Amino acid sequence: MSPISKVDSIGIPSRDTERSRQFYVETLGLRPDERAANEFWVGDTCFSIWEPERFGMPFEPTRNGLALLRVDDVEAARTELERVGVEFKGDTFDTGVCHMATFVDPDGNELVLHKRYAPYRDRSKQQA
**Cα 118 to Cα 68, 74, 95, 99, 121, distances in angstroms:** 16, 15, 10, 10, 9
Does residue 1 form part of some domain? no
**Cβ distance 72 to 115 under 8 Å?**
yes
Q: Predicted confidence band at 127 (pLDDT cuts at 50, 70, 90)?
A: low
pLDDT at 113 over 70: yes
- When pLDDT is cut at 50, 70 and 90, the band that residue 46 belongs to is very high
In a domain, 127, yes or no: no
Rounded to 5 degrees, what are φ and ψ at 112? -135, 130
Q: How many Cβ atoms sit within 10 Å of the Cβ of residue 108?
A: 15
In 3D, which of 69, 75, 13 has the Cα closest to residue 43?
69
Asked whether residue 74 is assigned to any structural domain, the reply reads yes
Where does the pLDDT of residue 123 fall: very low under 50, low under 70, confident under 90, or very high at 90 and above? low
CATH of the domain at 90: 3.10.180.10
2 assigned to some structural domain: no
Residue 103 resides in a domain: yes
CB 22 within 8 A of CB 84: no
Number of domains in the chain: 1
Range of the domain at 109: 9-121
pLDDT over 60 at 56, yes or no: yes
Using CA atoms, how far apart are residues 118 and 65, in angstroms rounded to an integer?
23
- Does residue 4 form part of some domain? no
What pLDDT band is residue 121 in, cutting at 50, 70 and 90? confident
Classify residue 126: in a domain, yes or no: no
Average pLDDT value over all residues in the chain: 91
The mean pLDDT value for 13-25 works out to 96
Note the pLDDT tens digit of each residue in 61-104.
Answer: 988 777 899 999 999 999 999 999 999 999 999 999 999 999 99
Please report which confidence band the pLDDT of residue 13 belongs to, taking 50, 70 and 90 as the band edges: very high
| Residue 116 resides in a domain | yes
